[in-house]
Chains A and B, each alone.
Chain A
């Protein structure tokens, strides 16, 4: 099974500043036949289910603000919030969907500093 590791566990960022979350997979999630990374990012606000933000490591879902961006390839990935807004306070999870079982990282809690 692929294991996903996120860092940091929590992050305090001032409003308007950049937040960066890292995610590492225990093996590559890049599928060579289509050159796509099977890596997703989710946002979970308190009391709510997770919401899919980004798939294919860098493709934002419809309606996701462009301050959210994903990057990386192979085993190392990053979620960046370019200018943190109050409504971005949440726990963020990465997930590999390259193989079964799909696995989530442990989550990164983003708070306002």
Chain B
């Protein structure tokens, strides 16, 4: 059974770049026709889809964040990553990585999430 685990700094300074990695275990990131997504959730608020990446490197980003988001995948490490530049306090949230359904943009398997706080 595939499991996902987010990792990265829990505190990022304003204007800097947030960097997170999602490690996939229990199966190869290259197996199947899955996209791999990032979603975030500010405390007490709803869910916002950030974007997704395929093992080929093909990406889709939420237009609301597109100018600041970069995603990458490392199949040799069974990982994929998120970079969000020029962060502000509004980017403080729990960040989740997830595996999408086969060729579907729903999130079938989720990591536990990691809290990232933007503060000086």
Q: Are B101 and A55 in contact (CB under 8 A)?
A: yes
Q: Chain A residues with Cβ under 8 A from B51's Cβ?
A: 101
Partner of A100, one of B60, B111, B113: B60
B90 sits at the interface (CB 8 A): no
C-alpha spacing A55/B92, complex, angstroms: 29
Question: How many B residues face the partner with a CB closer than 8 A?
Answer: 22
Partner of B105, one of A1, A52, A97, A107: A97
Q: Are B46 and A52 in contact (CB under 8 A)?
A: no
Q: Are A95 and B48 in contact (CB under 8 A)?
A: no
Partner of B48, one of A42, A48, A50, A104: A104
A49 sits at the interface (CB 8 A): yes
Partner of A101, one of B46, B62, B96: B62
Q: Chain B residues with Cβ under 8 A from A97's Cβ?
A: 101, 104-106
Q: Are B49 and A102 in contact (CB under 8 A)?
A: yes
Q: Are B110 and A95 in contact (CB under 8 A)?
A: no
- List 14 A-B pairs, Cβ < 8 Å: A38-B104, A49-B96, A49-B98, A49-B111, A49-B112, A52-B107, A61-B108, A93-B46, A95-B106, A101-B49, A101-B60, A101-B63, A102-B105, A105-B46
Q: A55-B106, A97-B106 are in contact. List 10 more A-B contacts (CB 8 A).
A: A48-B112, A49-B96, A49-B98, A50-B107, A51-B110, A97-B101, A100-B60, A102-B49, A107-B46, A107-B47
Residues of B within 8 A of A (CB): 46-49, 51, 60-64, 96, 98, 101, 104-108, 110-113
Residues of A within 8 A of B (CB): 1, 38, 40, 42, 48-52, 55, 61, 93, 95, 97, 100-107
